[in-house]
Amino acid sequence: MWALAGLGQPAVGSEGPQGPAASLPATEANSTWQARYWSAGLALLREQDTRFVDGENSGHAALYGSEDTFDAGAIDDGLQLHLSAGTRLSHRLRAQLELDLTHDLDWRGNTNYSNSGQHQPSSARLDTWQLLLTGYYDFKGWDLAPGVRIQPFLGAGLGVTDYRLGSYVQRFPEPDNPNGYLRRGPGGEIPYTVLPGGSGREFTWMLSAGMAIPIDSSMCLDLSYRYTDAGEIHTDTGDIDIVRYREDGTRRDIQVPINRTSADYQTRAWLAALRFKF
């Protein structure tokens, strides 16, 4: 990023008449930014539907075993912390290095195993961080007031997403046969299956559209909509823990090694960030 900053030239920083701002209208010159800046904000991640299916075969049993069997649900709404540092490459173009962090996003789904009832709730937790190198194009915009210009922008970025998936549990409270192998325990305990957690890093790309609203000479508010495709998230290959109850009420714990399972991971978010020049 500092190498990029060295290439960037201040859009309005020249003190002489030959500076880049000399040929710009005053309102447009005042709306551009010095070569380097940083920003911080929060993004609201909207609920995103996805489903877990059988992943890559690593020589163990498949959890679902069929394209018609899966765990369908959504990752709930959540907040994402956004931090970035950028530099202006030209009057219209700027480059930005972004770090985005999320914690404890809730996965809520419903599996569709046969003979296990219509209601088979599942839950998991997801943590992620994303590192993106993005480019933005600032449009001319329009005057909000004398000397104050709102600037729309478009952006695109590439990078990596690191994720941690855990606490993945599938429960079976309403099986087709309440007295069968999915019977409850003596105290009403619901049978369940615990899946291995998962972690990894995935290639990620992002598209953004928004506008910059000036607050003063050194700060603006960026409001944008962002679509991010972070590839897939996976459970690791390993043992599932199957908890069931015998007819006499005693508990059975069964470990079975399975292949990993996977789900597409895309996010749609509204971001509000403050951008500061330095």
State mean pLDDT over 162-191: 96
The predicted structure's pLDDT at residue 27: 38
Comparison of pLDDT for 26 and 68, the residue scoring more: 68
State mean pLDDT over 231-252: 95
State mean pLDDT over 208-219: 92
The CATH number that applies at residue 218 is: 2.40.160.20
The reply to whether 170 falls in a domain is yes
pLDDT digits (tens, 9 = 90+) for 47-95: 989 999 999 999 999 999 999 999 999 999 999 999 999 999 998 999 9
Give the residue from 67, 40, 81, 60 showing the smallest Cα distance to 269. 81
pLDDT digits (tens, 9 = 90+) for 178-191: 999 999 999 999 99
Tally of domains in the chain: 1
Half-sphere exposure of 97 (CA within 13 A, CB side): 8
The predicted structure's pLDDT at residue 142: 85
The predicted structure's pLDDT at residue 34: 53
Comparison of pLDDT for 142 and 114, the residue scoring more: 114
State mean pLDDT over 210-216: 92
The reply to whether 259 falls in a domain is yes
Give the 3-state secondary structure of residue 173: coil
Comparison of pLDDT for 217 and 159, the residue scoring more: 159
Q: Is the pLDDT of residue 175 over 50?
A: yes
Beta carbons within 8 Å of 55's beta carbon, 6+ residues apart: 234, 235, 259, 260, 261, 262
Band (pLDDT 50/70/90 cuts) for residue 26 is very low
Report how far residue 257's alpha carbon sits from residue 238's, in angstroms, rounded to the nearest whole number.
5
> Domain range spanning residue 160?
2-11+22-277
What six digits make up the tokens of 98?
């972004």
Report how far residue 144's alpha carbon sits from residue 207's, in angstroms, rounded to the nearest whole number.
26
Report how far residue 207's alpha carbon sits from residue 34's, in angstroms, rounded to the nearest whole number.
24
Q: Is the pLDDT of residue 22 over 50?
A: no
The predicted structure's pLDDT at residue 11: 36
Across 81-95, 134-148, 150-164, 182-196, least confident range: 134-148
The reply to whether 149 falls in a domain is yes
The reply to whether 16 falls in a domain is no
Q: Is the pLDDT of residue 197 over 90?
A: yes
Q: Which helix (H) or strand (E) holds 121?
A: strand 121-138
Written in H, E and C, the secondary structure of 174-233 is CCCCCCCCCCCCCCCCCCEEECCCEEEEEEEEEEEEEEEEEEECCEEEEEEEEEEEEEEE
Report how far residue 98's alpha carbon sits from residue 4's, in angstroms, rounded to the nearest whole number.
14
Band (pLDDT 50/70/90 cuts) for residue 202 is very high
Q: Which helix (H) or strand (E) holds 31?
A: helix 26-31
The predicted structure's pLDDT at residue 278: 81
Rg from Cα positions in the chain:
25
The reply to whether 248 falls in a domain is yes
Q: Is the pLDDT of residue 204 over 90?
A: yes
Main-chain phi, psi angles of 185, to 5 degrees: -75, 175
Mean pLDDT over each residue of the chain, to the nearest integer: 88
Report how far residue 62's alpha carbon sits from residue 235's, in angstroms, rounded to the nearest whole number.
12
The reply to whether 17 falls in a domain is no
Q: Is the pLDDT of residue 20 over 90?
A: no
pLDDT digits (tens, 9 = 90+) for 8-19: 443 333 333 333
Q: Is the pLDDT of residue 3 over 50?
A: no
The predicted structure's pLDDT at residue 5: 39
